Amino acid sequence: MVSAFWQVIAAYTFAVAGGWISTSLQLAHKQLCALISFAAGTLLGVTIFAILPESFGASSWWAVLLAVATGYALFFFISKHVHHVCPACAASHFDADATQHFGEIATALIVALAIHSTTDGLALGIQIETPAMDVTRWTLFSALCIHKVPEGLALGSLLIGAGLHRSAALGWVAAVEATTLLGGVIGYFFLTKVSTFWLGVIMAHVGGGFIYLAAHALLGEMLKHGKKLVLTSFSAGVALIALLNIGLRVLG
């Protein structure tokens, strides 16, 4: 229980730290692009090397594939019909015109990001006491912490660009990202004791959302910036999670 809560709190802290950086410093978009691509790679890496193997081991293959599809479809639907579900993954879409019309999109952005952040916390809050799941939990924790930094950076930058004062912008980042804590509470208290079959399905659903975020970030940044920088950073993120997952399994 202690492990689950400090991991969720740490992920939330990384998001707020990203918001603090963007509301206090000026970060060039090339640097943000590299960080976004790297973080997207970690999300794909944790899905391929940790979430999916664990899900296939707990549930039937058809249930896992269906859950992955629904996770992807959920984030696709929200991004298409509500708002971009992750400001970092869609950073290239937040141009000057978007910040000028922030008041019109604020509610949709908050709802979309709140759903995304709740899913992050949900994944960390689920606790299954098996050696394999322990490795999955640590690789997932690492990937989410890395992802939360550019998420906070992008959201903070958008709020500053929309004309909010630094303290107000940081407050909004902290408030919206607090849904990560909510997801952690739901995951721990309401989902931990369900059957391993359904836990596998839930994790696969989360993985489907991660695949959407990774693909959206990769394609979005490649259209706006150099392919070499994006692909190199993305590949580094995938490789980091692969090496971390292998290392934890060897040590375990």
Q: 39, 58, 40, 34: which is closest to 211 by C-alpha? A: 40
pTM of the shown model: 0.88
Per-residue pLDDT of the chain (252 residues; tens, 9 = 90+): 557 789 999 999 999 999 999 888 766 667 778 888 899 999 999 999 999 998 998 899 999 999 999 999 999 999 888 877 776 666 555 554 455 556 656 677 788 888 999 999 998 888 665 555 677 888 999 999 999 998 898 888 878 877 788 898 899 999 999 999 999 999 888 887 788 899 899 999 999 999 999 998 888 777 666 688 889 999 999 999 999 988 887 776
Amino acid at 176: V
Residue labelled with tokens 């640590």: 138
**Number of domains, the chain:** 1
Q: By C-alpha distance, which of 20, 251, 15 is closest to 139?
A: 251
Cβ pair 157, 95 in contact under 8 A: no
State the residue range of the domain holding 100: 2-251
